[in-house]
Amino acid sequence: MSRTVMQLLDAGFITVHPSPDDGRQRLLRLTPKGNSTIETLRLGKNDWLRQKLHTLDPTQRATIAQAMSLLKSLLETP
């Protein structure tokens, strides 16, 4: 994990700050560059998924949407 954090820090995707509550902890924050990169990746993932779902027929898409809705409800219930 520390290697990954160092790579993100060196690439300018995050900053590291001491925790105001516990001096032993460090808080990681995204930089504007990190936020921009995540947004670009998110949009690309959404486009990829949209393309994959487009290859299904309407009945298959409806089945997947129904299953996802059910799963969301299950995960939101304590």
Beta-carbon contacts of 34 under 8 Å, excluding residues fewer than 6 positions away, are 8, 12, 13, 14
**28 lies in some domain:** no
pLDDT at position 78 over 90: no
**48 lies in some domain:** yes
Q: Which residue has tokens 């949009």?
A: 43
Domain that holds residue 75: 44-78
**16 lies in some domain:** no
Tell me: the pLDDT tens digits for 8-43? Answer: 999 999 999 999 998 889 999 999 999 999 999 999
pLDDT at 44: 96
**55 lies in some domain:** yes
Under the banding of pLDDT at 50, 70 and 90, the label for residue 70 is very high
**10 lies in some domain:** no
**64 lies in some domain:** yes
Rounded Cα distance between 10 and 4, Å, is: 10
**18 lies in some domain:** no
Domain count along the chain: 1
**52 lies in some domain:** yes
pLDDT at 48: 95
Average pLDDT over residues 33-56: 95
